[in-house]
Structure 1
Amino acid sequence: MAVLLIYATKTGATAQCIKVLAEEIPDCAICDIQSDKPSIGDFDSIILGAGVRDGKIYKPIRDFIKKNHAELLLKKMGYFICNEKAKETGEIITRNIPADLKEAAVCIESFGGYKAYAAPKEGTDPLKGIFVDRIKAFSSHFAKQ
């Protein structure tokens, strides 16, 4: 069954994580929610990813969760955030993912990230600040559930 990867990014970290996830998860479709409107009815499994600013996940993903809350409860779900402050991860997840969705999720993780002013420059490692090992562990765990 195909997996839908939905994301929103500002600095590019979340897009880089989606690329790595797509390499790890066969038969997936990718949706940048800022430019596409996903048809989630066609998928049984969904992974949502978003960057974080001021303790909040990016608005397009927040809005998507609110709009599709009931339907997301019926899906195999995974969530990830891109934030460079690891100690705030638990609090960010608690504030941004409703408790019932969090409880029903197969996995939730932070893949690291970077501030906008510290985004990798062109020609440098685009995965700087991103924990690729966490992405691979996440995808493996998601696939086994």
Structure 2
Amino acid sequence: MDLAIDEVGCRSLNECISTISGKQKITLLESIAEDAVFLSNDRYRNYVVQQAMMYGHDNVAVKILFSLCGHFTQLSQEKWGSHVVEKCRQGNETLCLDLVKDLEPHLPELQRNAGGKQVVNIIISDLEIHFQRLAVNAN
């Protein structure tokens, strides 16, 4: 991730993510997943993680989620990191539930922080939708 040192480098990485394919893309996305914690809490680098989640397959999102596991509370409280946490919750419902499990013990702490509060409110909204779907399917 030597390229992700400034705005220009991050824009270049994002361009690569959206244009390359095959083994090169897989290698790049796996490297981003491994460095997700480092990349997530920066003004420009967080967009690289978000782009990887958007243009990668589900397994990339899962790898990023596992890399970030244990860091969600801290990231939720940081301006740039909270954007990545919000993107993580946009994956499948199982990933969102794993994210909730990671954040749940820290809800009071998150509610005292603007970024954390936003993440919690979005996740609560997602969970309400999830439970509404379950209720409709049960009937």
TM-score (norm 1): 0.31
More helix by share: 2
More strand by share: 1
Larger radius of gyration: 2
TM-score (norm 2): 0.31
Q: Which has the higher contact order (CA 8 A, sep 6+)?
A: 1
